[in-house]
Amino acid sequence: MDRLGVTVPEQLERQTKWLTEHWLWLLDTSVLPSLPALPSALDVGSGPGLVAESISSRLNITCLDSDLASVQGCRSRGLKAVRGDAHYLPFPDRSFDMAYCSFALLWFRDPLKAVNEMLRVSRSWVLLLAEPDHGGRIDHPEGLLPLKEIILNGMKQEGADPLMGRKLRSLCSALDMDADIGIHPGAWSLRRMRKEAEGEWDWISRTVGGTAHLETLRREWDRALEQGTLFYHVPTFYAIIRK
């Protein structure tokens, strides 16, 4: 089974911390009012369950991932979890009130088929909770501009689609579904940027491998961090689909 997209927990944890508040707001305002208390949900490509854990106060969640260690990670958090392939979900039609995924479509071989499967097993909602678009990445100061291209290439080599965010509309249209599409808020404070910068750099260097430019860029990054001028942002999209 696919091991594409298996990601170090530190990166998943940073993403989850950033987005949990907005996910809960989206659930509370757009989705949950139409559902019974504690509706059932399938988390597709759940990883070790950090997202599921962060929104489990609102939902009765079953996690699914193709990676065994991720399934075990979910279970160690007390979550229900099964091993399976997002392209062939092992559940009958309309098994859950909703199906959702996060930072996952960009890693799936056939995202259209995976969303179609989520639509099949859901009774009413499919939420594409977070898909980044690294083509819209912003880096400042100017010396850091080369980072975007290097990251795009690194992600493609790893098998990801770094432009998945902008494709959510076409995915939904191809399935004849109207969707409420948006971008998560979140330019960070300098304090937060300083706290997160080391982890972000670790992710960059893992993603791009041994690219020659990186040492110069690292010096530029550290200097900007010290001077309080560092800024980076990856627009991260969501789509809310009602069946």
Handedness of CA 30, 169, 106, 199 (dihedral sign): negative
Binding flag, residue 50, ligand SAM (CB under 6 A): yes
Q: Is 67 in the site for ligand SAM (CB under 6 A)?
A: yes
54, 70, 207, 236: which one binds ligand SAM (CB under 6 A):
70
CB of 14 to ligand SAM, least distance (A): 10
Q: Report the nearest approach of ligand SAM to the CB of residue 117 (Å).
A: 10
6 binds ligand SAM (CB under 6 A): yes
Q: Looking at 45, 111, 162, 165, which residue binds ligand SAM (CB under 6 A)? A: 45
User: If 0-12 CB within 10 Å is exposed, 13-18 middle and 19+ buried, where does residue 227 land?
Assistant: exposed
Sole binder of ligand SAM in the list 32, 55, 81, 85 (CB under 6 A): 85
CA distance 37 to 16: 23
Q: Identify which range of 101-109, 132-140, 172-180, 183-191 contacts ligand SAM by CB under 6 A.
A: 101-109
- Pick the binder of ligand SAM from 31, 42, 46, 58 (CB under 6 A): 46
Q: Contact region for ligand SAM (CB under 6 A) — 99-107, 164-172, 201-209, 212-220?
A: 99-107
Stretch that binds ligand SAM, among 65-73, 138-146, 185-193, 220-228 (CB under 6 A): 65-73
Among 160, 180, 205, CA closest to 11: 205
Tokens encoding 75: 């279970």
Interface residue with ligand SAM among 54, 102, 207, 236 (CB under 6 A) is 102
In whole angstroms, give the CA distance from residue 66 to residue 230: 37
* 7 scored as a contact of ligand SAM (CB under 6 A): yes
Q: Does 132 bind ligand SAM (CB under 6 A)?
A: no
Distance from CA of residue 237 to its chain's centroid? 9
Reduced to 3 states (helix: H, G, I; strand: E, B; else coil), residue 162 is: coil
Q: What is the DSSP string of 78-131?
A: T-EEEE-BTTB-SS-TT-EEEEEEES-GGG-S-HHHHHHHHHHHEEEEEEEEEE
Q: Is 5 a binder of ligand SAM (CB under 6 A)? A: yes
DSSP-H helix ranges across the chain: 9-26, 50-54, 68-76, 111-121, 146-158, 168-174, 190-208, 214-227
| 73 near ligand SAM (CB under 6 A) | no
